[in-house]
Amino acid sequence: MQSPKEEIEFIPVTQKKIALSKFPLQLMPSVRQLAENFSQKEGVSLNQFINLAVAEKLAHLQHEEGLAQRPQPHSALIARALDILDRPSSHVPEDFDKIPDGYVVVRRKYAGNRSPNRRKS
């Protein structure tokens, strides 16, 4: 009979379980107390609470990094988008979607010398 360690060695790499490593974490006493209190309120262990908090922070950082890498809109692209929005439509807008009487559209600086009254309801 093989020991459990020997059995794991023969399992293909794609089927091996990921071994969780221990990581000594030193928290300030006040932070630890808050984390313990919130983990109890959430009904999870302190370890699970910290894992989730780290995962959420990493997701936030990845999102910010992704936004920073996106191409920034430029005036030609914005003008093209506004042209598309200015196209007349054969659909009559719903009452809640009509531009109110007396409303003045204020275009941003990248809009150029376009007509201030973009759409008629």
Summarised one tens digit per residue, pLDDT across range 41-69 is 999 999 999 999 999 999 999 999 999 99
Side-chain-side CA neighbours of residue 59 (13 Å):
6
* Mean pLDDT value across residues 22-32: 91
CA 12 to chain centre: 35
Q: pTM of whole model > 0.75?
A: no
How would residue 104 be classed by pLDDT, with cut points 50, 70 and 90?
confident
Structure-model confidence comparison of residues 115 and 65, the more confident one: 65
At what angle are helices 29-42 and 46-69 packed, to 10 degrees?
100
* Position 31 pLDDT exceeds 70: yes
